[in-house]
């Protein structure tokens, strides 16, 4: 596996892995080849959890070994095979990466348990797209996802290269609703690009309708459009749900 070479060439990781228990999510060689961003210690750390978990033991959230311990999220989807029982009747995802080979157990030199899971994609961290800036305090490298910061500083996330979300941000700011994109806990935010926006139709309820509180949703783990999630706009009098569906376009590329 190519990830083994990255670990071996690093000065710190081999020592840590010889003395500590870990869960490691290892991308296949094909997944690493498809990943075009830099492959270094920090990327490996984002695939390491400092406790050994069998796949059936994993909690819903795992703190990684990357600086700041950013989380990855575990999704469990039924396999649809009635002949399989128990935990094996589920497909497991770490963020958007599917575990395709699970529960390889090893023990390091000190007898500490380590568990290896093979995933079919690189678990992609959020990466700053600009370099260090002494005025703003922004540093290059991996960053914690932050919906409010994405609205206010989309260049940090590289969005200005492909999309503009300035009209939605202006509307959110004018309605004094920026705090909606800074609520605590697990949440999913849908932020429309300028081309999809009719500003005259955007009010408080519409903005609240772009937020799913209490759920972290990944596009690949969407099963069908029947799965509905209450939006922040949901009340006894106004029931606003969000649903998603994965479809294939004529180029056979999946979109959500």
Q: What is the pLDDT of residues 194-226, one digit of tens each?
A: 998 888 899 999 999 999 999 999 988 887 667
Determine which of 9-18, 85-94, 110-119 has the lowest per-residue pLDDT on average.
9-18
15-24, 39-48, 90-99: least confident range: 15-24
DSSP 114-173: EEEEEESS--PPPEESS--BTTTTB-SEE----HHHHHH-GGGGTGGGT---HHHHHHHH
pTM, 2 dp: 0.82
- Which residues are paired to 211 by β-bridges? 189
97-107 and 113-119 strand pairing: antiparallel
Pairing of strands 127-128, 141-142: antiparallel
pLDDT, tens only, 32-69: 889 887 788 888 889 999 999 999 999 999 999 988 88
> In this structure, are residues 17 and 114 in contact, taking their beta carbons and an 8 Å threshold?
yes
**pLDDT confidence tier of residue 177, bands split at 50, 70 and 90:** very high
pLDDT at 8: 61
Q: What percent of the chain has pLDDT over 70?
A: 82
> Cα–Cα distance between 173 and 91 in angstroms, integer?
40
Q: Which two tokens stand for residue 151?
A: 């609205």
Would you kindly state where each structural domain of the chain is located, as residue ranges? 2-119, 159-255
Q: Which CATH number fits domain 2-119: 3.30.43.10, 3.40.50.150, 2.30.180.10, 2.60.120.1440?
A: 2.30.180.10
């Amino acid at each position: 596996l190519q990830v083994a070479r990255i670990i071996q060439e690093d000065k710190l990781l081999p020592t840590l892995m010889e003395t500590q228990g870990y869960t490691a999510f290892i991308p296949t060689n094909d997944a690493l080849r498809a990943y075009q961003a830099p492959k270094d210690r920090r990327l490996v750390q984002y695939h390491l959890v400092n406790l050994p978990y069998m796949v059936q033991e994993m909690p819903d959230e795992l703190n990684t070994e990357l600086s700041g311990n950013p989380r990855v999220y575990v999704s469990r989807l039924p396999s649809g095979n009635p002949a399989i029982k128990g935990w094996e009747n589920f497909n497991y995802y770490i963020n958007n990466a599917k575990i395709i080979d699970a529960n390889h157990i090893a023990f390091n030199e000190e007898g500490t348990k380590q568990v290896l899971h093979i995933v079919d994609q690189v678990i992609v961290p959020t990466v700053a797209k600009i370099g260090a800036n002494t005025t703003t305090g922004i540093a290059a490298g991996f960053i914690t996802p932050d919906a409010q910061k994405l609205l206010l500083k989309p260049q940090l996330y590289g969005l200005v290269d492909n999309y503009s979300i300035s009209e939605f941000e202006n509307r959110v700011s004018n309605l004094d609703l920026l705090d909606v994109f800074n609520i605590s806990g697990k949440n999913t935010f849908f932020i429309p690009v300028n081309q999809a926006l009719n500003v005259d139709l955007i009010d408080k309820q519409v903005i609240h309708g772009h937020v799913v509180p209490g759920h972290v949703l990944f596009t690949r783990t969407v099963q069908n459009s029947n799965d509905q999630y209450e939006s922040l706009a949901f009340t006894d009098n106004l029931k606003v749900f969000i649903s998603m569906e994965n479809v294939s376009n004529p180029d056979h590329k999946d979109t959500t």
